[in-house]
Amino acid sequence: MKKLLFLFIAILFSIASYSQTHVPPGPISGTWDTVGSPYLIEGETTVEDGTTLTIEAGVLVEWQGSYTMFIQGQILAIGTETDSIIFTAADPLSGWKSIRFIDTPPGNDTSRFEYCVFEYGKAYGPHPDNSGGALAAVNYSKFIIDHCLFDHNEAMEVNIDIPCGGAICLIASSPLIKNSTFTNNLAISAAAIICYDGSLPLIYNNVFTDNFADGNGLWGHGYGGAIGCYIDSNPQIINNTFSNNLADHGGGAISLVENCNATISYNLIYNNTAGWGGGIEIQDYSSPEITNNTIVNNTADKGGGINIWTGGNPQFRNTILWGNTANVGAQVNFMDNNSSADFYYCNIQDGQAGFGGFPNVGAYIGCIDSIPMFENPLVGNYHLLGNSPCIDAGDSTMFDPDGTRCDIGSYYLDQRDIVALPADDIDYYSFTANWQAATDALGYLLDVALDEDFTIFVEGYENLDVGNLTSYTVEGLEANSNYYYRLRAYYFLGRSDYSNTVGTFTGFQNIDENDARELNKISVFPNPANGISEIRYQISEFRSVSLKVYDITGKQAMVLVNQVQTAGKYKVKLDVADLPDGLYMLRLQAGNESAVGKLLVVH
């Protein structure tokens, strides 16, 4: 028995030994799969020129010390939505020392990081080792970051002459960074991403939250709570969300320093904080194009939304600046008379009275000062309500995807109609809501309530994302109860207004023996009618029901009901104001059964 036990333990030890892979210093290539995971990196490694390292979904890569992985060839780290690749450190306090593309030969194929987690990367040491806690690139652009998470990476060693970037450092490099999340990253400057020395990346559809540019009180540091741009770097920053980022000097979300002419479009920038420029800091002859952004509720000492100085000359178009706060210049602050900005068709709280510091000598054309009317800013929902003054108030030469004049802000209200259809598959405790597909819609948001005003929502059915379906089964309801539903479509950069409302009734009402004698019978009161009459009818079982009005010649005059209904009694209002005097026939069709009633109209 003891021999069997020892044999069993030996087998377990053998399995454990082969379920991890030790990676010594030197060249690496080939495929890292889950059979060999975790991969324990024990020194500096290099993917050499002309070779490829492939890392499969579900693999854990764990650095055993502060070592760098250099990519001189190609790396393919492609996880999945449900099975990420994780890059981490055995000791989160000391961390690991990033993946670096340093003058990688351009003849190699594009590297990719998809569904990867980068955590506890720490950059320190002489240049460029002190920049890019998780990833760094110098003179190399052929890599793509997609659907990745960068969490708790940092670059905190002080050197005023070179960049930082807690998660990513780009020096003369222009990759694609999209669909990713940056949170809790820390750096002397540019807590998430630094774009330096002519970098032109596309930074698209990412989320930046709770990152901190901690300059330790040093002049020239503490810029860019999320993104910092320095020296001729012109990234495209498009369709991102920046919230709760902090820079102890300038640019709670974004800083632009020394001739950086970025394109900043369709971004939501809210609840960020900085010494200067709670949302964006613009200086040293930087002239960004800032179009269709929502910059709200940011805080700073100077320039709650925007701070501009030393020759900064941005252009703002179709942008909301609202609810920002500062000791000087709540919405925008000009720190010298060598700076200005042009504003076209923006919604700016208090208009030019919301500007502080030196007078702005730039253009101010077509702008408004009206409460934007957001859906629910308390939970970060800055989509426009249907009655927002920002709708169709943007530049008249620009158009939203629905073909209407451009709205102001990062999200447009799609004005194409969305139509809710009658419910079917109605049961005691459920029904199926239906709607027409809307052109170009990515998906739909479903509301179900107990009242037509949608003040009492069914739990779990407020703003429910049902994807791109055109029907959805609503469950967990009560029998014999009225319910109401409506939809909104959402699109690439916006969402529609609400559809029409559809009412339905769950379960089967009990019908006693006396009531059964009145099945499918129509009654009208008052009759003759000269205003609004009430039509009453009853059906015996769950059926498709239509109720129509015909004139004396047999021509259809009205359709009052055309939907599936459960067994029970019903009342329908009929307004005869538009019907000429005369005799009319009411025809009720309930499944295969029908009934006819008469109506006399006398005005």
Asked, colleague to colleague, whether 420-505 and 513-601 share their fold, the answer is yes
423-454 burial, b at 16+ Cβ within 10 Å, e below that, comes to beebbeebbbbbbeebeebeebbbbbbbeeeb
Lowest-pLDDT range of 41-45, 66-70, 596-600 = 596-600
Please give the torsion angle defined by the CA atoms of residues 353, 358, 360 and 361, in that order, rounded to the nearest 10 degrees.
Answer: 140
Q: Which residues, in sequence order, are CB contacts of 70 under 8 Å at separation 6+?
A: 44, 45, 46, 47, 100, 101, 102
Strands of 551-590, DSSP E: 556-565, 568-575, 582-590
Listed residue (357, 362, 228) closest to 301, CA to CA: 357
pLDDT at 507 over 80: no
User: What average pLDDT does this structure show over 394-401?
Assistant: 95
pLDDT of residue 492: 86
**Which band of pLDDT confidence, cut at 50, 70 and 90, is reported for residue 118?**
very high
Give the pLDDT mean for 529-544.
78
Question: Per-residue pLDDT averaged across 243-269, rounded?
Answer: 97
| Mean of pLDDT values over 573-581 | 85
Q: Does 512 score more than 60 pLDDT?
A: no
- Above 70 in pLDDT, residue 372? yes
Q: What is the CATH number assigned to the segment(s) 513-601?
A: 2.60.40.2550
Residue 271, pLDDT above cutoff 60: yes
pLDDT tens digit string along 140-196?
A: 999 999 999 999 999 987 665 668 999 999 999 999 999 999 999 999 999 999 999
* The model's pTM: 0.80
Mean pLDDT across 211-221: 82
Question: Mean pLDDT in the chain?
Answer: 90
- Please say whether the dihedral angle defined by the alpha carbons of residues 564, 568, 574 and 580, taken in this order, is positive or negative: positive
Distance of CA 63 to CAs 59, 155, 448, Å?
13, 17, 50
For range 571-581, the mean pLDDT: 84
Closest of 208, 495, 239 to residue 375, by C-alpha: 495
Task: Summarize the confidence of residues 314-336 as an average pLDDT.
Answer: 98
Own/partner pairs for 532-535, CB < 8 Å, 24+ apart?
Answer: 532/573, 532/574, 532/575, 532/576, 533/573, 533/574, 533/576, 533/599, 534/571, 534/572, 534/573, 534/574, 535/560, 535/571, 535/572, 535/573, 535/574, 535/586, 535/597
Instruction: Please name the residue that has the structure tokens 């998809």.
Output: 114
Q: How confident is the model at residue 547 (pLDDT cuts 50, 70, 90)?
A: confident
pLDDT reported for residue 217: 67
Q: Which residue has the higher pLDDT, 470 or 520?
A: 470
- Provide the CATH topology of domain 420-505: Immunoglobulin-like (2.60.40)
The answer to whether residue 243 scores a pLDDT higher than 70 is yes
Both tokens of 6, joined, read: 């020892």
The rounded distance, in Å, linking the Cα atoms of 63 and 65 is: 5
Q: Are 71 and 99 in contact (CB under 8 A)?
A: yes
Q: Is the pLDDT of residue 415 over 50?
A: yes
The proportion of the chain whose per-residue pLDDT surpasses 90, expressed as a percent, equals 73
pLDDT, average across residues 66-75:
98
Between residues 43 and 6, which one has the greater pLDDT?
A: 43
pLDDT at 520: 55
**Which of 273-282, 292-301, 525-534 is least confident?**
525-534
pLDDT tier at 541, thresholds 50, 70, 90: confident
pLDDT given at position 539? 77
Q: For residue 542, is pLDDT > 90?
A: no
Supply the pLDDT for residue 16.
41
Least confident of 11-20, 309-318, 355-364, 441-450: 11-20
In the chain, where the domains are located? 17-250, 265-415, 420-505, 513-601
